[in-house]
Amino acid sequence: MTYRTITADAAGTWKLGDLSVSRVGFGAMRLTGSAAFHHGTPSDRERSIAVLRKAVELGVTHIDTAAFYFSALRSANELINTALAPYPDDLVIAAKVGPYRDYHGEWGTSARPDQLRGHVEENLRQLGRDHLDVVYLRRMRQDSIAEHFGALAELREAGLVRHLGISAVRPRHLAEAQAIAPVVCVQNRYALDRPDPESDALLRLCGEQNVAFVPFYAVAGDAGEQGATAAHDEEVLAVARAHGATPAQVRIAWTLHQGPHVLAIPGTGNPDHLVENVAAAALRLTDEELARLNAARLQAG
């Protein structure tokens, strides 16, 4: 595949409420440095800024971020602000609240419902905005999300947030949230090498309700927060070879083939990987290839 000229447009768009987004988006978590949740070496600032600008140049209009994506010297939100403000009119920035980290980067327990306004405001300050396009409640294992989601629904009524999403949820949480306020997106862990019947069910449920399903760790797969490894299933390698593509591109393309409402938010701090990931928008897998990849996925379970 010739990557450099392919833009996110090749995979089309989806609407989060009234906001159109490119189905190939960008996850900001990997911009701040190495190692899991980035207690490691902080990233090169100019390189991260270049990745963000290149993403927008290549037609990405959906960036996923959080105030808790930071390393000792870098904040994903600050990098986004520096690289992209004044923001293009068509750029949609989605933030997540629920988890939080103290100044040393140590994780706290879940925010209480009455603390969520402060967490939204922290994102607003860092991004330099007066309202957030999309805010997810990132569930922290609570059984019911009603109180937390209700607090976000109030912030939506107050105009601080345009649309709401939920993350790390089970199928029943979608109905619980929808009874309180409209949900435009669900963000769960979902990857080719990680079969998960609950997320499969949720993906289908979202499709039926016109709600976007946004997988995270679609490239990193089973390795999760540790980041992508060089080990790939033979089927992934075979499909990649057939298209002159890379395994990461096959993983992103497989994600996009799961339905028109499924959005990709691959994360990278590497400008070459960014170009490669956006180019996966144009990678069309055959039914036979999808069947082979799905069969390998079931075996992984």
Ligand X SMILES: NC(=O)c1ccc[n+]([C@@H]2O[C@H](COP(=O)([O-])OP(=O)(O)OC[C@H]3O[C@@H](n4cnc5c(N)ncnc54)[C@H](OP(=O)(O)O)[C@@H]3O)[C@@H](O)[C@H]2O)c1
Can you spell out the DSSP letters for 54-98? Answer: HHHHTT--EEEE-TT-B-SS-BHHHHHHHHHPSPPTT-EEEEEES
33 is an interface residue for ligand X by CB under 6 A: no
Is 117 exposed, middle or buried (CB count within 10 Å of its CB: 0-12, 13-18, 19+)?
middle
For residues 152 to 191, the per-residue mask of contacts with ligand X, x marking binding by CB under 6 A and - elsewhere, is ---------------xx------------------x----
Around Cβ 145, how many Cβ atoms within 10 Å? 25
98 is an interface residue for ligand X by CB under 6 A: no
Could you say which residues in the range 218-277 bind ligand X, by CB under 6 A? 218-220, 227-228, 246, 248, 265-270, 273, 276-277
H helix or E strand, kind and range, residue 213: strand 212-216
Q: Any catalytic annotation for residue 190?
A: no
Q: Which is nearer to ligand X, 126 or 167 (by Cβ)?
A: 167
Stretch that binds ligand X, among 110-118, 216-224, 255-263, 292-300 (CB under 6 A): 216-224
Closest-CB residue for ligand X?
A: 267
Question: Three-state SS across 156-208?
Answer: HHCCCEEEEEEECCCHHHHHHHHCCCCEEEEEEECECCECCHHHHHHHHHHHH
96 is an interface residue for ligand X by CB under 6 A: yes
Q: Which is nearer to ligand X, 21 or 28 (by Cβ)?
A: 28
| Whole-angstrom distance, CA of residue 136 vs CA of residue 29 | 15
Give least dist CB 125 to ligand X, A: 19
Residues that bind ligand X (CB under 6 A): 27-30, 64, 96, 138, 167-168, 187, 216-220, 227-228, 246, 248, 265-270, 273, 276-277
Which residues are catalytically annotated? 69
